[in-house]
Structure 1
Amino acid sequence: MTQALVIAAHGSHLNAESSTPTFDHADTIRATGAFDEVREAFWKEEPHFREALRVVDADEVYLVPLFISEGYFTEQVIPREFRLEEWDPELWDSDGTSATHATLRAEDTGQTVHYCGPVGTHDSMSDVIVRRAESVTGDDDVGDGFGLAVVGHGTERNENSAKAIEYHADRIRESDRFDEVKALFMDEEPEVDDVTDFFESDDVVVVPLFVADGYHTQEDIPEDMGLTDDYRTGWDTPAEVDGHRIWYSGAVGTEPLMADVVLERAADAGADVEGAIERVKAETGGSPATGD
């Protein structure tokens, strides 16, 4: 039986770079040869969710949402647009951060679809956050003497949005790698605007848990933190703010190791991709940063 991987992402009509990480991670996985087909699909760009399965020849599909949290898109939009028969969020049996997968049938194509939980809540995302800290500091051993801020959007409309941020902050804190680890948000307390108020460490790495760089990560957050008065002029890395050095990484989803999280989701749903996972980790400098 032939097998395909479909990566489902949001995309954007306004930001051409929004889809870049999706294509990059798909290319990385495609090069491993783990699947007969690897396809990208988007809500706001072409190829669209609704047509995605119609151009997939494989009988069996692993559908992985490149989203940060469980919620409206992963529980309603994607299953509806992919026309997954008998879908119900209860099939994930999740508390907001523990979705795994559900095996369903695509209504109009008849394909077997293993619908996976979003990449953002998978345990291996903690390793990508740490890897992002390593990348921005240029130090593979970064941690001692450093604070780490994991930043999310936060919203009253979806409590799971904050859960994903707090989940990874807790996991990384338990690894004792960094002196301090905090979960901060754009639209709820504690706010990233006041990042220096929450850390005693002189050096603080700030990693936004976003899939792609865009308005929030490249404009809002740098200005809100005081890295720059005008995002168009750029900022220093690290930037001096209130007596601290802020190492701002940009969106975690642009880190090459993200391809591993996509593969891990598929593996959890039964895909035989262990060799591909090892290859991607080797090529992207991945390691079990949280000690799991």
Structure 2
Amino acid sequence: MQALVIAAHGSHLSAGSATPTFDHADTIRESGAFDEVRECFWKEEPSFREVLRTVESDEVYVVPLFISEGYFTEQVIPRELRLEEWDVDQWDSDGTSATHTTVTATDTDQTVHYCGPVGTHDAMSDVIVQRADSVTGDRSVDDGEFGLAVVGHGTERNENSAKAIEYHADRIREQGRFGEVEALFMDEDPEVDDVTDYFSTEDVVVVPLFIADGYHTQEDIPEDMGLTDDYRKGWDTPTEVDGHRIWYSGAVGTEPLMADVVLERAADAGADVGDAIERVRRETSSAGPAAGD
């Protein structure tokens, strides 16, 4: 038997923070790729610490639903799962290239394939593009007339936070689907507050590389960009700002295609998922905008 555990942050303050995790878990559960699928959280129940004891399978694939390699993926999750054999050097990563390592959970004796975060997987670039396409409706982003801003939190405390954003911006730029592609940040330069300064295209799609919609994506970023002077009043899509039309998508993690990235992470670690990746990609690619958009 093989099980999948999706590890996410969760929130005590935002009731909808865990919704994308449950949605993607349900999609994967319905695919039949795993005998068991479990969700666990840092700030909600079930917790990281207890989740392995809810799993009957001897072989477990753990996929962190996080954007970057850093404190949570390198320290918190392995510690809480009691992966005492774990060492970050086992990932042999430059900050965006972690794949997986296999260790034994100390107290349950399960074989755990601990995967890199979804946010640095190559397939995340496809999710960002689909997210951009879904918010523009009938207007395709493939004509080169749209600019794309991939937005991250950014922090001087962890350089990998910015690396993940820049990595996907570079990959999407190379595809040539957008007229311009820029990586922007909330807490470091170049800042999303000045989004229109970085684009000559009239239309700009802004996709925040966050797992769930919350304070940053629904309050900070819309106000910082000038979409609204009060997030509680909402904003139009698109909104004209400084002569540009800004198409704001909300968190990329709410895009249904994210379930495909989770599956691909597990498959890269050796999980037998059959044709689930192809089926989930096909189904979620035609699912349209995520609920609540």
CA deviation profile, 1:203-229 (whole Å, cap 9, x unmatched): 000000000000000000000000000
Letter in 2 for 1:237: T
Using structure 2 for the length normalisation, give the TM-score. 0.96
Deviation at 1:139, TM superposition (A): 3.9
1:215 paired residue number: 215
* Contact kept in structure 2, 1:267 and 1:274, CA below 8 Å: no
Cα distance in structure 1, aligned partners of 2:109 and 2:140: 48
Partner secondary structure for residue 127 of structure 2: helix
Find the counterpart in structure 1 of residue 141 from structure 2.
142
* Counterparts of residues 8-47 of structure 1 (less than 5 Å): 8-47=7-46
For residues 146 and 92 of structure 2, what CA distance do their matches in structure 1 show? 36
| Stretches of 4+ aligned residues off by more than 3 angstroms | none
1:247 aligns with 2:236: no
For 1:139 and 1:259, how far apart are their aligned partners in 2? 24
Normalized against structure 1, the TM-score is what?
0.97
C-alpha separation between the residues in 2 aligned to 1:12 and 1:40?
14
Structure 1 counterpart of 2:200, one-letter code? E
Alignment-derived partner of residue 282 in structure 2: 282
- Taking the aligned partners of 1:180 and 1:274, their CA distance within structure 2 comes to 37
Aligned partner of 2:159: which letter? Answer: E
The aligned counterpart of 1:156 is 156
Residue 224 of structure 1 is matched in structure 2 by 224
Q: Does 1:117 align with 2:129?
A: no
Could you report, residue by residue, the CA deviation over 1:212-262 in whole angstroms, capped at 9, with x for unpaired residues? 000000000000000000000000000000000000000000000000000
1:141 deviation in Å? 3.3
**Pairing 1:60–2:59 present:** yes
Residues 1:4 and 2:6 aligned together: no
Single out whichever of 274-283 and 195-204 deviates more from structure 2.
274-283
1:256 aligned partner: 256
CA distance in 2, matches of 1:139, 1:262: 28
- Equivalent residue, structure 2, for 1:186: 186
CA–CA separation in structure 2 for the residues paired with 1:85 and 1:188: 35
Q: Which moved more, 1:141-150 or 1:243-252?
A: 141-150
Which residue matches 2:238? 238
- 5+ unaligned residues in a row in structure 2: which ranges? 287-293
Report percent identity of matched pairs. Answer: 83
Q: Deviations over 1:89-126 (max 9, x none)?
A: 00000000000000000000000000000000000000
Q: Which letter maps to 1:73?
A: F
Which amino acid is 2:60 matched to?
V
Aligned residue for 2:18, secondary structure, equals helix
- Secondary structure at the aligned position of 1:187 is classed as coil
Q: Which residue of 1 aligns with 2:107?
A: 108
CA contact (8 A) 1:11 1:43 kept: yes
Distance 1:263 1:141 in 2: 27
The alpha-carbon deviation at position 285 of structure 1 amounts to 1.2
Question: How well do the aligned residues superpose, as a CA RMSD in angstroms?
Answer: 0.8
